[in-house]
Amino acid sequence: MSSQNLSYHETRSAICEHGRSLLADDLTTGTGGNLSARLDEDHVAISPSGIPYEDIEPSDVPVVRTDGTVVEGDVTPSTELPMHLEVYEQRPDVGGVVHTHSPYATTFASLGEAIPASHYLLAFTGSEVPVAEYETHATQALGDAAVEALGEDYNATLLRNHGVLTADGSLAEAYTVALMVEYCARIHYQARAIGDPEILPDDEIDRLQGKLDSYGQ
């Protein structure tokens, strides 16, 4: 197996593993949500459409060119492929994208409310989790809306009346962001049920992001 094929296989395997984690971590239900990873400048691996996560094998994970052409795999790519490709096109710093239907964060998406920094771990995403305008799922328009909301400053956005999209330097990092978004959404929801959460100022979020960038090094 060539080094490129080995790298592709490892990435496709990682998509399988993280897909199963979506269910275990209660970030989605059924076959909802999708994940992708940048393989190189011209190729992306993305979870397939409509296959239960526990049944997906690495060979089932499609490899597509950045124009959407499938070059490896016999299974149809996720219907949200246009959204993933738009993120990679507009954010060259992004190496992994995760789309979830996690319940607490999606609650705020359905309210059309950004999630503010009522917990310091929101610094994984930016000063807040902004809300993208509603667009029909599996359309280029949804990708455009998501990218506009992400801008250059955020690693996550709520998809109005739909779910969550996270993007970071790698698939593993984007998955961590998805976990943090759901945790912070739950804390904010619970705090709102009791009273008025205190929101951390932007300068503190900037300091926290510097600490998180060096965490574990």
All domains of the chain, ordered by start, with CATH?
A: 3-213 (3.40.225.10)
Radius of gyration of the chain (CA): 17
| pLDDT tens digits along 187-207 | 999 999 999 999 999 999 999
Beta strands in the chain (DSSP E): 34-40, 43-46, 63-65, 70-72, 96-100, 115-116, 128-129, 131-132, 156-159, 163-168
Pairwise CA distance, residues 56 & 19, whole Å: 9
Mean pLDDT score of the chain: 95
| pLDDT above 70 coverage of the chain, percent | 95
**pLDDT higher than 70, residue 214:** no
Return the pLDDT at 1.
46
More confidently predicted of 2 and 128: 128
Give pTM, 2 decimals: 0.95
**Residues identified as active-site:** 80
